[in-house]
């Protein structure tokens, strides 16, 4: 049994919150003197519902004394069931489970009846398609151990499990076809595309236009550990990140995938860049310990953009500084303190803030853009800043396409990931330039 998500730790007040919110929603005209406590409960309930949607998880309760069963709205969505039909019973849930996984589910339930927490991943078939569902079940019990009320959380982890299966399949094929260089080149490209899909056009995010480009190493079999993240958060802000895992090959790519997907999952709980880097550092240290590879390290820069204030809050872990182009001049941002990921247990990271202006351009990148074994990083950085200045001068209203078409990696033996962003308003949103020179 694995230690689960702590079902009972946060669900005790969930029903009370939902009842309060439903009461407020059902009132046609909200009284002016609603207590602040109820408004706070409504906000808390909204946050919980948002977390359920973002985490793709639902919850349920089973009162063994009254026999009543309650499901959250997200639980019905996961099981693709009409709420008017009510929750499924245990027999129906067992019937949905694939025959190969039923012994696992039965064994987990038997362990739960012995007083253990249930935490298992099984496959279910719904509407002709397959889902991977993680189920965590706990209970409040009598002194003798007999359950009185059962709490459960179900999370749809299909995307994660299918991605892991695809990754395992590609790695297996790489091992089997290592004698064929052409086959390895092809599979390496497939692996990179599975883990790091690069958008073919700029992303339109709240208050930002973001373009991404990936420059592979000259040797196609050198699958690298460079990665990026650019996505909106539940509160309307935008989370940006660029990272680089040391080394090449499937090991670096696997670590890169774990860090990238971990950041996406952790962003549900916090948007603070320093806190997120602290979590990624802990994960990198754990991966190094589990694999026995002490050289498992990485660098990263993580930033949160508030589109209302146009404020960028960022932190870095041993990563090259972002560049800011403003008023025709490009300069590196002063870096807040932060060690590389995977080097120091419980490392702490500081943040810095920057108010972006319309016309600014922010560039985040990995070291392959500026570092070369035959020259120092300062020379490479100066070349990049010159390219940024030229791009902004050539197309001040639409610099992203110009910039990414001009940038060339300094080190052909290392892959490079580039993320360029510019603040926008409704008037400056019209950017139709696709990435060129790919």
Using one digit for the tens of pLDDT, what is the confidence trace for 60-94?
Answer: 888 888 888 989 888 898 899 999 999 998 888 88
Q: Is the model's pLDDT at 334 over the cut of 70?
A: yes
Confirm whether pTM is higher than 0.75: no
At 187, the pLDDT band (50, 70, 90 cuts) reads low
| Residue ranges of domains in the chain | 7-156, 198-423
pLDDT greater at residue 52 or residue 386? 386
pLDDT greater at residue 103 or residue 17? 103
Average of pLDDT values for 115-124?
88
pLDDT tens column, 147-164: 888 888 898 888 888 888
Residues near 414 by beta carbon (within 8 Å), at least 6 away in sequence = 217, 224, 367, 368, 371
Assigned architecture for domain 198-423:
4-Layer Sandwich (3.60)
pLDDT at 12: 42
pLDDT tens column, 280-328: 999 999 988 887 766 789 999 999 999 999 999 999 999 999 999 998 8
Task: Name the superfamily (CATH) of residues 7-156.
Answer: PAS domain (3.30.450.20)
């Amino acid at each position: 049994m694995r230690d689960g998500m702590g079902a009972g730790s946060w669900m005790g007040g969930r029903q009370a919150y939902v009842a309060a919110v439903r009461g407020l929603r059902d009132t046609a005209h909200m009284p002016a003197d609603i207590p602040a406590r109820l408004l706070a409960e409504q906000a808390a309930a909204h946050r919980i519902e948002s977390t359920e949607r973002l985490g793709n998880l639902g919850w349920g309760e089973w009162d063994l004394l009254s026999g009543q069963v309650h499901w959250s709205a997200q639980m019905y969505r996961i099981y693709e069931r009409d709420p008017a039909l009510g929750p499924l019973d245990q027999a129906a849930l067992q019937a949905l489970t694939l025959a190969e996984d039923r012994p696992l589910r039965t064994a987990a339930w038997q362990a739960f009846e012995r007083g253990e927490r249930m935490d298992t991943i099984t496959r279910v078939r719904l509407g002709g398609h397959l889902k991977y569902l993680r189920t965590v079940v706990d209970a409040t019990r009598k002194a003798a151990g007999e359950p009185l009320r059962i709490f459960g959380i179900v999370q749809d982890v299909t995307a994660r499990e299918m991605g892991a299966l695809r990754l395992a399949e590609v790695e297996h094929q790489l091992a089997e076809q290592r004698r064929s260089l052409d086959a390895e080149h092809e599979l390496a490209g497939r692996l990179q595309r599975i883990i790091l899909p690069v958008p073919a056009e700029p992303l339109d995010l709240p208050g930002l236009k973001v373009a991404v480009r990936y420059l592979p190493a000259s040797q196609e079999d050198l699958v690298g550990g460079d990665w990026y993240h650019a996505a909106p958060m539940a509160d309307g802000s935008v989370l940006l990140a660029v990272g680089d895992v040391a080394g090449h090959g499937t090991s670096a790519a696997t670590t890169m995938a774990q860090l990238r997907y971990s950041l996406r999952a952790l962003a549900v709980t916090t948007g603070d860049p320093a806190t997120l880097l602290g979590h990624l550092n802990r994960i990198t240290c754990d991966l190094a310990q589990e694999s026995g590879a002490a050289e498992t390290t990485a660098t990263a820069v993580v930033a949160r953009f508030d589109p209302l204030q146009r404020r960028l809050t960022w932190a870095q872990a041993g990563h090259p500084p972002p560049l800011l182009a403003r008023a025709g001049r490009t300069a590196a941002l002063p870096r807040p303190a932060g060690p590389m990921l995977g080097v120091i247990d419980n490392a702490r990271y500081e943040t810095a803030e920057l108010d972006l202006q319309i016309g600014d351009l922010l560039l985040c990148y990995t070291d392959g853009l500026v570092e070369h074994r035959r020259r120092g990083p300062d020379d490479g950085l100066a070349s990049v800043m010159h390219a940024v200045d030229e791009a902004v001068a050539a197309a001040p209203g639409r610099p992203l396409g110009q910039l990414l078409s001009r940038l060339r990696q300094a080190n052909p033996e290392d892959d490079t990931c580039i993320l360029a962003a510019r603040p926008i308003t409704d008037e400056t949103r019209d950017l139709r330039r696709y990435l060129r020179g790919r």
